[in-house]
Amino acid sequence: AQKVTQAQTEISVVEKEDVTLDCVYETRDTTYYLFWYKQPPSGELVFLIRRNSFDEQNEISGRYSWNFQKSTSSFNFTITASQVVDSAVYFCALSGNDMRFGAGTRLTVKP
């Protein structure tokens, strides 16, 4: 069975702080994909990144970076120098036959 765990329900930081959102997954598949989505207050989830199970290279995109570690089944997301606009719910997801999402982490960035 596939499962995604986001243990952090809510995180609150002050602007310019760095913050890491944790994601741990379970799957028996050897080929799979991991995703992060952002859900702003408007409701629609917005795609941030996709990683396949054979590519453990970390990725950086501006203030965002992702750390994929197969050995610990984790795919963590770090926002550097957070901004108020980063406030949202962030979902980690695992894709096999269908897309399974974690429970989400609500990030609040205070000015």
Partner 1 sequence: KAGVTQTPRYLIKTRGQQVTLSCSPISGHRSVSWYQQTPGQGLQFLFEYFSETQRNKGNFPGRFSGRQFSNSRSEMNVSTLELGDSALYLCASSLEFPNPARELFFGEGSRLTVL
Interface residues toward partner 1, by CB under 8 A: 31-33, 35, 37, 42-47, 50, 52, 91, 95-104
Residue with tokens 């770090």: 78
Closest among 75, 64, 69 to 18, alpha carbons compared: 64
Distance CA 87, CA 39 (A): 9
Query: What is the rounded distance in angstroms from the CA atom of residue 70 to the CA atom of residue 79?
Result: 21
What minimum distance in Å lies between the beta carbon of 8 and partner 1?
13
Minimum Å gap between C-beta 86 and partner 1 is 19
Based on CB atoms, which residue is closest to partner 1, 2 or 80?
2
**Smaller CB distance to partner 1: residue 43 or 62?**
43
